[in-house]
Structures are given as C-alpha cells and as structure tokens.
Amino acid sequence: MKKLFFLLLILLTFSLFSCSARNSNDIIRVSVGAEPQSIDPSFLSAIDSMIYAVHTFEGLTTKDRNGNIIGGVAKDWEISEDGLTMIFHLRDNAKWSDGKSVVAEEFVYSFRRLANPKTASSYSFLISPIKNADKIMKGELNIEELGIEAIDDKTLIIKFEKPTAYFLELASVPIFSPIRKEFVEGNDNWTFSPDTYIGNGPYKMIERKPDEIISLEINDNYWNKNSLKASRIDFIMFSDVATAYAALKEGTLLYSSRIPNSDIDALREEGYLVSTPSLGTSYYALNNTNSVLKDKRVRRALALAIDRNYIVENITKGGEKPATAFVPYGLKDTNGDFRENGIKYFSASKEDYKNNVEEAKELLTQAGYPNGANFPVLEFKTNPGSGVIIAEAVQQMWKENLNIDMIITQEDWSVFQKNRQTKNYVVCRADWIGDYLDPMTFLQLFTINGAGNRVGYSNANYDKLILEAQSTMDNNIRMSNMHKAEDMLIGEDMALVPLYHYTASSMQSPKLKDVFVDTLEIRRFFYSYIK
C-alpha cells in the first residue's frame, strides 16, 4: 500500500510538467509552497510571496550573492548630516521588463500605496520611519504628504521622522519595490497575467497557472542581467510536502523550501537536507495582562522549566540553537555579533537544566503556587503542525517539573492569527523572522504600540530606550540602548519565553548548485545551475 501511494504521488508530480520541460536541463524547478496569498509587492505577507517578488521586482537597494547591501535601482545615494533625508540617484539603465525606464515617480506611487490605509497592507508598518507615514496610516493626513518626492525622473528624495540607520537594509525588502500604476489601478487580477505583471527585477513572468505553476525567465532589460545564471525558473505549487519530497526523489523537482519534519533524518541520510542560518526566533507568547501571568516570577518559572535541547535534538532536528534571549545570532553590533555580545538570561546547557528547574520551583513558591498548588490550567493555542508536537513536549515538562497542567487548542491559521493579534489567548505559539538586518527589527516589536507586541508588554523605560535608539545615527548609542532594552524585556521581565533560534531547512537535490538563502529566509535562484 505504501509503495502504491508513493507511485501515485509520482504520477501526480509528472502531471505538472510538460515533456519538454521535464527533459530540459536549463529549467530550475523548485517549490516554495502552495499558491501564494499574493505576489503584489504591497501585499506581501509571507516568505513564499517575498521569494516570488524578489525575483521579479527590485527596490532602491538589493543584496549581492554574499548578502551585502548594494545599489539596486539606485546607483548611489546621499545621506544628510542629521540623518533625516536621503537622496537616491536612479540608474539610467534600470528598466521594466517591457523596456520602459524605471522613474522616480513610480517609487512615489508604490510608497504612497503602501502607506494608504485603504490598501490595508499587513506589512505597511515597515514604512513607519518615513515622514508622516504613521499619521497617513491612521487616516490623519493625505497620502500626498508622505515624505517622498520625485525631483526628476532619476532623483528621489525620502525624508524621515527620525534618523533611520537601517533604511538601506529596509529598502531591499520587496514591499518597497516600484510598481506601475497603469497596470495596477482598477485591476485586482494584475498579478495573474504576464501581460500585466510587469516587474523591474532580474526575472519576468512568462506563465502563471493558479495552484500549479509560476514560470519566470531572465528579464533581458534588467540592468545586471549578465550576473544571472538560471535562464528559467519554474515555481511548482505543492501544498503537500510529501508530494514535493516524492518529486525531489524522482528528479522532477530540484528544491523545496518546505520539508516533511517527520522525514528529516531520512532527508539528511539521503543528502537532500540543507540548513542555513536564519534570522528568526521561536517563542511562546505569554499574555502579560493575564491575572496569573502578569507576575514575572511565574513567567520566568515557565521559561526555566523547558528543556530546549530536547526540542531541537528530538523534534525540530534542523540545527536550531536553544534560545536564551530573544534577538537571534547574525546581527551586527558596533563590534562583532549582537547576540554573542549580549547576555544569556539563563543557561541552556544540558548540565544546568536541573538547576533551572529548581529555580523555577522556587519562583513558583514565591509567587504563591508551591508545587503548582492552586495554579490554574493553562490553555495553549496553536495552529496545526509541528507546533503541536513541541507543545505536547512542553506540556509534559511543565507537568513533571512544576505540576502545572496545560491543555492544547488547535485553531485554523486565520482564527489563530486573529486571536494572537487581539491577545485572545493565555499562552500561544509565536515566532518572528526579521525584516532587515538590524536588532531593531526584533526589539521595536514590544513597545507599547508595537505592531508585533502580541504579549501586552508595557514598560515606559523600554519604550524610551527604543525611541532613543530610533532617533540617532550613532551606532554606539543605538546598540547600547538595544542591549539595555533586551535586558528589560527578557532579563528583568521575561515578557515572553524564547525557545530556539531558527535555521532555514530545505530539501535540495545534489544536482542543484548555488542557491542563495539569506538570513531572512528569502531564497534567490539567480545564480543557480544544474550540474
């Protein structure tokens, strides 16, 4: 029966490809999941949609194959002494896939569209540093008052509310790509046709079949087309990772960004598993406004009683690192790595776990719950998937170590997202993958009005430190303040429970070379080839 099922999967995979495509060595066939929610730059909300957009669009800056920020549409730029103004000079040879030159006014249009509250972009908060953006998003000002102006076709001025040292990083995020008004206005389906999905990135769409395939080929009008290797990329829609796995083994697929966690050991043995560093942290959100969890001693006790080594070695198994803080590795400090320079707020070594549990028991006693007495049953919310398996392990740890009971409630993604955002939970699964390479992408989340403050954290001193860090270009001040802020968030208050720092695990055929995966988990197949 198992062999028959496997055969059926293979047959399903074959149906997605034409014979000519299947036999071509020039086509890079990959999968980054099922049908994306949107590939409109203003509506990107997940890693898969970001991957599509980074191939077809390009912002003022971009990343080279080593992950360094370089000029994209902008050939160079100037920053004012006070850090409140940036002037970008666009390349003369920056063109759209239909041959039209990219002009500054197209950035003005796309930035205003992103800030427009009528657009209701889930990532609009990233535009907040630009002058008047917050007021526009609240409906207090017109979009024309956004701090962006086209001086001429090749000169763009952006003004900021306060110095934004990380904006060049931010500008490489695909949501800040230019878009063409004539294709977008009045056409909600513009992303579904190669005739209207006109981009300015390395590749152009040549075919799209919803729930089946998005095919791209080199944009001959791209200013840096000579750096590209992959002549054509076919993104195959697989909602079932088992099907992707079967296609990979059969050879009709070369890469999948999603893996069957249950088969991770087999993938490693077969040489298909590839893990790269990721700028992300998995954590448990604790509702800080809950009558029991508002006591920081309780929150710390829950954090200390979790065996993170068990989770990463026996459940996730993708090379993840146990987290003893919130900000992950891979972000620059004034010197060295921010995480390595920061504090470990508890020990994650196997030898110290017993001591952690003893400290947790003492903290619970201090909080009025000796041996878990009179502690209410905790409800844990998650969406279906690997989060359930981890929750079951934590459920057992909290019971054995603290005599605390937990029930696990699974919710559909949309319901879970809404409950998490509205703080309709006691404890829930959460994570954060950075949007740009600066610690601010993690720490600004937990200001009182932070877009990612799902835990209800409220600390005026924390907010002050973050605001000061956001108001200067002096990296010494910025980094010092952010270290102090994390000390408050985790060290003093344990506002959330860090679990582990992510890796980006993928399935990749040994035949496929040079897939670039940055720490934001954006896959680039620009330089890929088959060998």
Contacts (Cβ under 8 Å, ≥6 apart) of 322: 308, 309, 311, 312, 348, 499, 500, 501
Fold match, 1-34+202-272+509-531 / 277-504: no
pLDDT, average across residues 244-268 = 92
pLDDT score at 134: 93
pLDDT score at 381: 97
pLDDT score at 260: 87
pLDDT, average across residues 228-254 = 94
Give tens-digit pLDDT for 318-367. 899 999 999 999 999 999 999 999 999 999 999 999 999 999 999 999 99
> Checking DSSP bridges between strand 321-322 and strand 496-508, what pairing results, if any?
antiparallel
pLDDT, average across residues 248-259 = 94
Q: How far apart are CA 53 and CA 458, in angstroms?
A: 36
**Does residue 9 carry a pLDDT above 90?**
no
**More reliable by pLDDT, 452 or 102:** 102
Q: How far apart are CA 33 and CA 525, in angstroms?
A: 15
Residues above pLDDT 90, as percent of the chain: 81
CATH class of 40-187: alpha beta
**Does residue 219 carry a pLDDT above 60?**
yes
**Does residue 2 carry a pLDDT above 70?**
no
Contacts (Cβ under 8 Å, ≥6 apart) of 373: 403
**Does residue 406 carry a pLDDT above 70?**
yes
**Does residue 8 carry a pLDDT above 60?**
no
Q: How far apart are CA 498 and CA 339, in angstroms?
A: 13
pLDDT, average across residues 30-36 = 92
Residues above pLDDT 70, as percent of the chain: 95
CATH second-level architecture of 277-504? Roll (3.10)
Q: How confident is the model at residue 25 (pLDDT cuts 50, 70, 90)?
A: low
**Does residue 3 carry a pLDDT above 60?**
no
What CATH number belongs to 1-34+202-272+509-531? 3.40.190.10
What single letter denotes the amino acid at residue 169? Answer: E
Give tens-digit pLDDT for 429-453. 999 988 888 999 999 999 998 878 9
pLDDT, average across residues 467-480 = 93
Give tens-digit pLDDT for 88-97. 999 999 999 9
pTM as predicted: 0.80
Give tens-digit pLDDT for 160-180. 999 998 899 999 999 999 999
pLDDT score at 16: 42
pLDDT, average across residues 420-428 = 94
Whole-Å CA distances, 41 to 58, 178, 216, 490? 10, 8, 17, 34
Domain ranges of the chain: 1-34+202-272+509-531, 40-187, 277-504
Half-sphere exposure of 217 (CA within 13 A, CB side): 6
Looking at 34-86, list the stretches that DSSP marks H as alpha helix, in order from N- to C-terminal side. 47-56
Give tens-digit pLDDT for 298-317. 999 999 999 999 999 999 99
Whole-Å CA distances, 370 to 83, 120, 189, 380? 54, 48, 60, 22
**Does residue 80 carry a pLDDT above 80?**
yes
